[in-house]
Amino acid sequence: MAEAEKVLHSMVARGCEPSVFSYNILIDGYGKAKKLDEAMQTFEDMHSKGLTPNAITYNSLIDGLCKVGRVAAAQELFMEMQARGPSPNVYTYNVLLNGLFTNGSYEEAMRLFEKMDNDGLEADIVTYNTIINNMCKSNNLDGAKKLFDSLPSKELQPDTQTFTSMINGLITKGMLKESEDLFTEMVEKGHTPDDITYYIMVRGSLLHNDIDKAMQLLNAMIDREFSLDATNISIVEDFFAAHGPKIKFIGLVDKFCQSTKVKVMLPVLSQLFKVNVLFGICIYFVFMRKAEMIVTLY
């Protein structure tokens, strides 16, 4: 950002006034660096020079403010857009919706979603993913399913995130069979489950003591080259707790280790030792291709 500031000052010193485009680049950079005070000051500088911010300017600021938890300030900018222009677009609504949900303002977010429709803006799949995900988190599975089922009528198709949110909602409600059916539908419709989808499915299987299903899913993760990293350490930890130190489990861990690069595995081992020393030792020996020593430990 220091270099970008120098370029801007250099432009001014040479009599070349920065444009809205130039300021937008700087504001976006400040936002990504979480330097929102500097971003807001740059925004004020634009005004003082008689430049009119566009939707990109406002969206960058609203996005940055929401990401650092300054949702009230983001809402003020949103209202300023409505009063002065430019009008908020779908991206503006999506960013603010996510910020409100993250801030725990569920009802306010839902009112904003209704306003979006009243203002004649067509929500995109990002909008619906945000709403469906947070409905599921708020135990409103019926509302989430209603929106999910309505997507085709809006000429929108659910994507991996949509399916994953619904699967998570079903599992949270204890509807494992329904979650498995939706997982199958997801794959049949050509959507590739990601590590989060598998994470949720494995947890659901373990929750219902379906060890064979969990094993099947973990093997599928490995076959799709999902490595044992910080995201899914707890999956294997739970599997270890539920299944115990059996040869079948050791083989699974060995398969995980074979699919994982050393530079990725070493920090994972460190984390595993913090979680469970004995578990960490087991994984370490498997990683070092000494699986037979684990059996001796027990």
How far is 169 from 135, CA to CA, in rounded Å?
Answer: 9
Instruction: Write out pLDDT tens, residues 179-209.
Output: 999 999 999 999 999 988 988 998 888 778 7
Query: Quick check: 162 pLDDT over 90?
Result: yes
Q: What is the pTM of this model?
A: 0.79
pLDDT at residue 195, rounded to an integer? 83
Q: Domain residue spans in the chain?
A: 160-298
pLDDT at residue 62, rounded to an integer? 98
How far is 283 from 130, CA to CA, in rounded Å?
Answer: 37
Look at residue 101 and give its three-state secondary structure: helix
Binning pLDDT at 50, 70 and 90, where does residue 6 land? low
How far is 48 from 42, CA to CA, in rounded Å?
Answer: 10
Query: Quick check: 264 pLDDT over 50?
Result: no
Q: Using N-to-C axis directions, what is the helix angle for 233-243 and 247-258, rounded to 10°?
A: 170
How far is 228 from 105, CA to CA, in rounded Å?
Answer: 35
pLDDT at residue 67, rounded to an integer? 95
Instruction: Write out pLDDT tens, residues 124-143.
Output: 999 999 999 999 999 999 99
More confident: 215 or 284: 215
How far is 180 from 171, CA to CA, in rounded Å?
Answer: 9
pLDDT at residue 199, rounded to an integer? 85
The answer to whether 201 and 179 are in contact (CB under 8 A) is: yes
More confident: 276 or 84: 84
Query: Quick check: 45 pLDDT over 60?
Result: yes
CA distances from 240 to 157, 177, 278 (A): 37, 23, 11
Q: Summarize the confidence of residues 242-267 as an average pLDDT.
A: 51
Classify burial at 101, counting beta carbons within 10 Å of its beta carbon; exposed 0-12, middle 13-18, buried 19 or more. Answer: buried
Structure token digits, residue 24: 């937008």
Return the residue matching tokens 């976006």: 28
pLDDT at residue 90, rounded to an integer? 97
Q: Summarize the confidence of residues 48-67 as an average pLDDT.
A: 95
Structure token digits, residue 227: 């490595």
Q: Is the dihedral of CA 133, 137, 138, 140 positive or negative?
A: positive
Query: Quick check: 75 pLDDT over 60?
Result: yes
Binning pLDDT at 50, 70 and 90, where does residue 80 land? very high
Rg of the chain on CA atoms, in Å: 25
The answer to whether 259 and 222 are in contact (CB under 8 A) is: yes
CA distances from 52 to 9, 44, 135, 225, 256 (A): 20, 11, 37, 49, 55
Mean pLDDT of the chain: 80
pLDDT at residue 278, rounded to an integer? 44
Q: Summarize the confidence of residues 257-276 as an average pLDDT.
A: 48
Binning pLDDT at 50, 70 and 90, where does residue 261 land? very low
How far is 294 from 283, CA to CA, in rounded Å?
Answer: 9
How far is 57 from 84, CA to CA, in rounded Å?
Answer: 14
Query: Quick check: 55 pLDDT over 80?
Result: yes
pLDDT at residue 137, rounded to an integer? 94
pLDDT at residue 9, rounded to an integer? 60
* Count, residues in the chain: 298
Give the rounded percent of residues in the chain with a pLDDT score beyond 90.
Answer: 55
pLDDT at residue 203, rounded to an integer? 84
Binning pLDDT at 50, 70 and 90, where does residue 254 land? low
The answer to whether 23 and 17 are in contact (CB under 8 A) is: no
